[in-house]
Amino acid sequence: MNYTSCPTSLVNAPVELVWALLTRPEGWGTFYDVRITTVDPVGPAVVGQTVFAESGPPFLHLKLQFRFTQIDAQNYRLRLDAQFPFGVTVREELTCIPLGQEQCRVNYHCGFGFPTGWRGTAVHALMRRELDAGPADSLDRLQREAERVHAKSSLRMPFT
Q: Which residues, in sequence order, are CB contacts of 5 under 8 Å at separation 6+? A: 108, 109, 110, 112, 131, 132, 134, 135, 136
3 state SS of 112: strand
Q: Distance between CA atoms of 158 and 129, rounded to whole angstroms?
A: 48
CA-closest candidate to residue 22, choices 113, 110, 123, 146: 146
**C-alpha count within 13 angstroms, C-beta hemisphere, residue 99:** 13
Q: Tens-digit pLDDT profile for the chain (160 aa)?
A: 799 999 999 999 999 999 999 999 999 999 999 999 999 999 999 999 999 999 988 888 899 999 999 999 999 999 999 999 999 999 999 999 999 999 999 999 999 999 999 999 999 999 998 999 999 999 999 999 999 999 998 765 554 4
